[in-house]
């Protein structure tokens, strides 16, 4: 089984992708709204874990919505605000969390994580084995190979996904897809035009200067996702999945803690 990289992003990449205030960027706000709409039904006591959580904006959003959500990231990010700090675990492998915590996990979020991996099937299988009561995995990743730019090269992407490749990935990992589609359709046109005209794409996120403008854009992209069919191409593809089967665990595989 392939190992997870010691860190998805290096320090320079993290600084460019997550400047202070990045949670207010329209794309991050939009993604939170959209993924919340895609969440499967969960028991009130279910634990949601965002694996590869970055600065923790999604965890903060979900907790504000009343969900018991935590985050883990192999990298070290700047210290979160005191309210969020107990719920995000930096320089932490999610599979090394206490067994009592892992047993409570019913939903794993993998948001812009798998595109960095040569063998994402093994990582998904590890999620199923490592969280023994896992019921669902919600995936989001960059979409459409025709949008490949230096942005993907810089951040170490292995591939951009489409419907067939995402279905194949889930099938190999024993995940049943209950819903799937593209989002950020407007950005598909913008990135495509940028690639055609300038053959480049900005690799960093600028510090947020006008929160109101980003809030407005976030609402527009959320509305776009509700009104347009998910079959239309977008810059992101998502899937809500259920664990179809679970491999038998031998005695030596049982947690010792």
pLDDT reported for residue 7: 56
Q: In angstroms, how far is CA 196 from the centroid of its own chain?
A: 28
Domains of the chain: 11-243 (3.40.50.150)
Measured CA to CA, the distance from residue 113 to residue 132 in angstroms comes to 21
Beta carbons within 8 Å of 172's beta carbon, 6+ residues apart: 121
Q: What average pLDDT does the structure give for the chain? A: 88
DSSP 66: T
Give the tens place of pLDDT for each residue, 27-44: 999 999 999 999 999 998
CA proximity to 138, closest of 235, 41, 248, 233? 41
Query: Is the CA virtual torsion 80, 208, 144, 33 positive or negative?
Result: positive
pLDDT reported for residue 65: 96
Give the tens place of pLDDT for each residue, 210-226: 888 989 999 999 999 99
Measured CA to CA, the distance from residue 129 to residue 89 in angstroms comes to 20
Q: Is the pLDDT of residue 257 over 60?
A: no
Instruction: Tell me what the mean pLDDT of segment 89-95 comes to.
Output: 93
Measured CA to CA, the distance from residue 155 to residue 141 in angstroms comes to 13
238 vs 90, more confident: 238
The Cβ-side half-sphere exposure at 14, using a 13 Å CA radius, reads 16
CA-based diameter of the chain, in Å? 59
Which token pair is 146?
A: 């025709």
In the structure, what pLDDT confidence band is assigned to residue 117 with cuts at 50, 70 and 90?
A: very high
In the structure, what pLDDT confidence band is assigned to residue 200 with cuts at 50, 70 and 90?
A: low
Q: Is the pLDDT of residue 100 over 50?
A: yes
Which helix H or strand E contains 32, and what residues bound it?
Answer: helix 26-38
């Amino acid at each position: 089984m392939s190992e997870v990289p010691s860190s998805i992003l290096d320090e320079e990449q993290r600084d460019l992708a997550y400047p202070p205030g990045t949670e207010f960027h329209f794309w991050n706000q939009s993604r939170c709204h959209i993924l919340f709409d895609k969440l499967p039904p969960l028991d009130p006591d279910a634990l949601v874990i965002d694996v590869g959580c970055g600065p923790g904006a999604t965890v903060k959003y979900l907790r504000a919505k009343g969900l018991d959500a935590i985050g883990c990231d192999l990298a070290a990010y700047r210290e979160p605000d005191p309210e969020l700090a107990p719920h995000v675990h930096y320089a932490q492998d999610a599979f090394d969390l206490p067994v009592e915590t892992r047993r409570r996990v019913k939903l794993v979020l993998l948001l812009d994580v798998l595109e960095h991996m040569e063998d994402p099937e093994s990582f998904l299988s590890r999620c199923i084995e490592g969280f023994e009561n896992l019921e669902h995995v919600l995936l989001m990743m960059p979409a459409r190979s025709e949008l490949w730019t230096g942005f993907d090269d810089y951040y170490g992407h292995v591939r951009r996904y489409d419907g067939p490749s995402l279905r194949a990935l889930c099938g190999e990992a024993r995940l049943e897809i209950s819903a799937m589609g593209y989002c950020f359709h407007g950005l598909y046109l913008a990135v495509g035009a940028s690639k055609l005209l300038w053959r480049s794409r900005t690799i960093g996120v600028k510090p947020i200067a006008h929160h109101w403008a980003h809030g407005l854009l976030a609402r527009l992209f959320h509305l776009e996702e509700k009104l347009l069919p998910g079959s239309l191409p977008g810059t992101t593809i998502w899937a809500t999945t259920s664990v179809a089967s679970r491999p038998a665990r031998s005695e030596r595989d049982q947690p010792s803690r």
